[in-house]
């Protein structure tokens, strides 16, 4: 059995008991979650817990989100196979891998050099060829690749950074955890011309989004 398939039963159990049983119904998202080997994106010492219902440390003060949160954020994006996606906060690369199975291409930005280098290697070695990684201040977005059909912010923001919002295409969707350093709510924005319809989803707690349009390192 290859390392990629070593935890196949655990992945399927995760999908049924943590996702489908809690109300997630998008079959494409559930299939993607069943396919992506979450254990490859976390440190070896954490791999026995890879498919448990919790976030796990990945080093550099960062975490990989619990599977339920990855799935619900992905479902809220309502991705299509032709979509171009921007992810702010690459982290482990797991979320980017899930997004890549549901879209045409994923551009993902990480600010921590060690995570950027490690994750770029993991994604490449795992065969996610439609994911492009960048090392920069994610709060600035990625203007050279804009506009995007969908944008996902995977760190807590005090508000949606204006440069990122401006990079959302007409008809596009943006999902982000917005709130204080210690507690947020998932927000979904659907752009319709010059209007940005906002809706609220589930409470959550993410690591802070650091950068020019996010939290400062001192406050975080």
pLDDT (0 to 100) of residue 2: 57
Domain of 131, CATH number, reads: 3.40.50.150
Q: Is residue 194 part of a domain?
A: yes
Q: Is residue 31 part of a domain?
A: no
Question: What span, in angstroms and rounded, lies between the C-alpha atoms of 102 and 32?
Answer: 7
Question: What span, in angstroms and rounded, lies between the C-alpha atoms of 17 and 12?
Answer: 9
Question: What span, in angstroms and rounded, lies between the C-alpha atoms of 2 and 21?
Answer: 29
Please give the structure tokens belonging to residue 157: 């923001």
Decide: helix, strand or coil at residue 215. strand
Asked whether the beta carbons of 54 and 21 are under 8 A apart, the reply is: no
Q: Is residue 143 part of a domain?
A: yes
Please state, rounded to an integer, the average pLDDT across all residues of the chain: 94
Domain residue limits at 127: 65-204
Asked whether the beta carbons of 76 and 201 are under 8 A apart, the reply is: yes
> Of the candidates 90, 105, 81, which has an alpha carbon nearest to the alpha carbon of residue 31?
81
Asked whether the beta carbons of 38 and 55 are under 8 A apart, the reply is: no
Cα torsion at 168, 102, 48, 176 (round to 10°)?
20
Q: Pick the catalytic residue from 65, 92, 100, 103.
A: 65
Question: What span, in angstroms and rounded, lies between the C-alpha atoms of 79 and 150?
Answer: 7
Rounded CA Rg of the chain: 16
Question: What span, in angstroms and rounded, lies between the C-alpha atoms of 106 and 27?
Answer: 20
Is 65 designated active site? Answer: yes
- Number of domains present in the structure of the chain: 1
How does pLDDT run across 80-118, given as a tens digit for each residue?
Answer: 999 999 999 999 999 999 999 999 999 999 999 999 999
Q: Is residue 124 part of a domain?
A: yes
Q: Is residue 4 part of a domain?
A: no
pLDDT (0 to 100) of residue 217: 80
pLDDT (0 to 100) of residue 202: 92
How does pLDDT run across 22-70, given as a tens digit for each residue?
Answer: 999 999 999 999 999 999 999 999 999 999 999 999 999 899 999 999 9
Q: Is residue 102 part of a domain?
A: yes
Q: Is residue 220 part of a domain?
A: no
Decide: helix, strand or coil at residue 98. helix
Q: Is residue 107 part of a domain?
A: yes
């Amino acid at each position: 059995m290859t390392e990629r398939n070593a935890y196949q039963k655990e992945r399927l159990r995760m999908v049924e008991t943590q996702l489908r049983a809690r109300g997630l119904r998008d079959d494409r998202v559930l299939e993607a979650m069943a396919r992506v080997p979450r254990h490859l994106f976390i440190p070896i010492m954490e791999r026995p817990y890879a498919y448990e219902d919790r976030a796990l440390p990945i080093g550099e003060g960062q975490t990989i989100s619990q599977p339920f949160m990855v799935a619900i954020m992905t479902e809220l994006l309502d991705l299509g196979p032709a979509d171009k996606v921007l992810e702010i906060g690459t982290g482990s690369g797991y979320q980017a891998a899930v997004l890549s199975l549901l879209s045409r291409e994923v551009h993902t930005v990480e600010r921590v050099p060690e995570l950027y280098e490690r994750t770029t290697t993991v994604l490449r070695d795992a065969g996610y060829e439609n994911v492009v990684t960048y090392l920069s201040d994610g709060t600035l977005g990625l203007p050279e690749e804009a506009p995007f059909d969908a944008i996902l912010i995977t760190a807590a923001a005090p508000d949606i950074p204006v440069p990122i919002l401006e990079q959302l295409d007409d008809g596009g969707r943006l999902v982000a955890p917005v709130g204080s350093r210690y507690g947020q709510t998932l927000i979904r924005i659907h752009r319709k011309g010059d209007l940005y319809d906002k809706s609220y989803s589930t409470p959550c707690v993410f690591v802070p989004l650091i950068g020019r349009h996010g939290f400062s390192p001192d406050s975080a």
